[in-house]
């Protein structure tokens, strides 16, 4: 297998039925943003049929962001910074992750209710010259990993990821675990 900085590339076999084709996002992080994903989906033919639902999710994403901003501004007004108050930082992280996971799960559920098993897009972010599709797969059971001649069927969400959304975010960053 080809080696990369902290890992390797493995072959995967996808067994997907109906997929929704979308444009690519301007960055990988955008796939973790319910607002960005909802806006992207609004630009599709499917999104136009689900405009009311997507607008509601956009509104909820804005409310979540405002709530997080308000809590942060309150901390600043109290002269509390994230560095001085690690518990407050953990609470904000938890609210952010849980809120995004909930909204991304809603988006996934809308797509699944209309028979979609994933999203496909030409991955221009990683390779501007690409003509190949990348996929967002909703059910890990639709992915088989091939590693050194062995096929591994994924039983559920990868253990290092948070479950529940279109794109799952690792539950850690460089400094701490989010619990």
- The string of pLDDT tens digits covering residues 133-156 is 888 888 888 888 877 777 777 665
Helix H or strand E segment including 152: strand 150-153
Q: What are phi and psi of 31, to 5 degrees?
A: -65, -15
- Cα–Cα distance for residue pair 67/79, rounded to 1 Å: 18
At residue 135, the 3 state secondary structure works out as: strand
* Beta pairing, strands 118-122 & 133-137: antiparallel
In a structure prediction context, what are the per-residue pLDDT tens digits for the chain, which is 179 residues long?
444 445 666 777 888 899 999 998 888 788 888 999 999 999 999 999 999 999 999 999 998 888 877 777 776 666 655 555 666 666 666 677 888 888 999 999 999 999 999 999 988 877 778 788 888 888 888 888 877 777 777 665 544 444 444 443 343 443 333 43
pLDDT at 46: 97
pLDDT at 171: 39
């Amino acid at each position: 297998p080809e080696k990369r900085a902290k890992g390797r590339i493995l072959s995967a076999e996808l067994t997907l039925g109906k997929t929704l084709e979308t444009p690519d996002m301007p960055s990988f992080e955008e796939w973790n943003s319910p607002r960005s994903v909802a806006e992207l989906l609004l630009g599709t033919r499917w999104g136009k049929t689900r405009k009311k639902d997507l607008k509601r999710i956009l509104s909820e994403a804005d409310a979540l962001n405002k709530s997080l901003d308000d809590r942060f501004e309150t901390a600043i007004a109290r002269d509390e910074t994230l560095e001085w108050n690690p518990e407050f930082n953990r609470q904000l992280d938890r609210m952010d992750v849980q809120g995004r996971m909930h909204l991304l799960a809603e988006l996934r559920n809308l797509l699944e209710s209309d028979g979609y098993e994933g999203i496909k897009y030409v991955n221009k972010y990683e390779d501007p010259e690409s003509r190949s599709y990348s996929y967002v797969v909703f059910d890990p059971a639709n992915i088989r990993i091939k590693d050194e001649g062995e096929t591994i069927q994924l039983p559920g969400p990868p253990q290092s990821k948070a479950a529940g959304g279109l794109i799952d975010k690792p539950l850690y960053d460089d400094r701490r675990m989010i619990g």
